[in-house]
């Protein structure tokens, strides 16, 4: 469990919901001095950013056909 540092979270705009906002608020409360940085993007770019380690986590929708990278 990390208690300090930085967490870069990328999310697809379609993922924004009350549930996601509650999850992020809970994460902020439980994460000690971890800085949360959020960035919005499209699914394919977020996945590529995660592979390239420009973000730590990509929150993207599941389902449908895979998007080529």
Cα 14–chain centre separation: 12
The pLDDT value recorded for residue 26 is: 86
The pLDDT value recorded for residue 14 is: 80
Secondary element (H or E) of residue 33: strand 33-41
| Residue corresponding to tokens 């967490």 | 7
Secondary element (H or E) of residue 11: strand 4-12
* pLDDT greater than 70 at residue 69: no
The pLDDT value recorded for residue 18 is: 84
The pLDDT value recorded for residue 66 is: 53
What is the tens place of the pLDDT at every residue in 6-62?
Answer: 999 999 888 778 888 888 888 878 877 888 898 999 999 999 999 999 999 999 988
Task: Enumerate residues 6+ apart whose C-beta is below 8 A from 19.
Answer: none
């Amino acid at each position: 469990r990390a208690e300090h540092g930085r967490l870069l979270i990328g999310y697809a705009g379609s993922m924004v919901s009350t549930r996601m906002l509650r999850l992020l608020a809970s994460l902020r409360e439980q994460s000690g001095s971890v800085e949360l940085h959020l960035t919005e993007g499209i699914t394919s770019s977020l996945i590529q950013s995660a592979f390239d380690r420009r973000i730590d986590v990509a929150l993207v929708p599941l389902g449908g056909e895979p998007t080529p990278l």
